[in-house]
Amino acid sequence: MLNRFLKVSVFLVIIALISCKKDEPNTGLGGETNIPLTAVDSVSSVYAELDGVNALSTEIRIKSNNDGDVTYTGSVDLLTLSPELQTKALEVLNEHGDYYDASEYVTLTPDMKLNFEFKVKITSEGYQDFFTNGQPWIMAKYNDPVGTTYSVVNKNGETLTRTITEKTGLDDWPFGFFLIKTVKVEQQLASDDPMVDHIEYRVNHKFGLVYIEYLFKDGTNLAIEVIPWFLL
């Protein structure tokens, strides 16, 4: 039960923190910035599963788009969870919030809502994020081949990588009521990360980031699906 409490807690924090470090060899992301995916006020749905079991859902809205620097906002109502789960979520937020710099992206209101706001760069070429020290790290460029890596150096001097590990070129990934093509990216985490072992992403050239899976050090996982219904 405790593991399940921890996973929901991490969702509440990490949905706003798409685990970022400093980008070194891949600092540029080109492409068009005014694309349908980045339209201001558009809303995407976010669904989370803990070890294959539905956990909760929320929405994220685009607040602004400044030349591809897209700011998302959203909220999770802790009162929709059980009292025990609320308590555990807050415990984990307090225990690990500093490590993930949660206070930069997440605020807890008196009525028990976790409000979050974060920025990513989204273009017709790919995805990039900025969460650690405000520095960029490319998640993926859609046209890059399997084996492409995007490396970073974190605050401890560790070199971390994101690697494109799969591109089938087929419409084989379930997405809403459809199947779509995706690029799979795998990311290693810092050796001192307190909870997460590694992360897997899937991106699509039209729908952007569509899937995130956190694999935890205790062997459990949190899967998050992001669907921009306004594009379907």
Domain ranges of the chain: 2-231
The answer to whether the beta carbons of residues 142 and 154 sit under 8 Å apart is no
pTM of the model: 0.85
pLDDT of residue 145: 97
pLDDT of residue 168: 97
CA atoms within 13 A on the CB side of 153: 3
CATH of domain 2-231: 2.40.360
pLDDT of residue 97: 85
Alpha-carbon distance of 129 to 200, in angstroms, equals 15
pLDDT of residue 88: 65
pLDDT of residue 132: 58
Name which of 74, 14, 67, 66 is nearest 44 in CA terms: 74
Question: Alpha helices, DSSP H only, in the chain?
Answer: 2-14, 83-96
CA atoms within 13 A on the CB side of 24: 11
- Taking 50 as the pLDDT cut, the residues of the chain under it are 1-26
pLDDT digits (tens, 9 = 90+) for 201-216: 999 999 999 999 999 8
Name which of 191, 177, 175, 187 is nearest 213 in CA terms: 187
pLDDT of residue 154: 84
Alpha-carbon distance of 37 to 27, in angstroms, equals 22
pLDDT of residue 26: 43
- Which residues are paired to 45 by β-bridges? 59, 227
Give me the residue label for tokens 């971390």. Answer: 160
pLDDT of residue 13: 44
The answer to whether the beta carbons of residues 129 and 150 sit under 8 Å apart is no
How far is residue 204 from each of residues 99, 107, 125, 129, 151, measured CA to CA in Å? 30, 30, 10, 16, 21
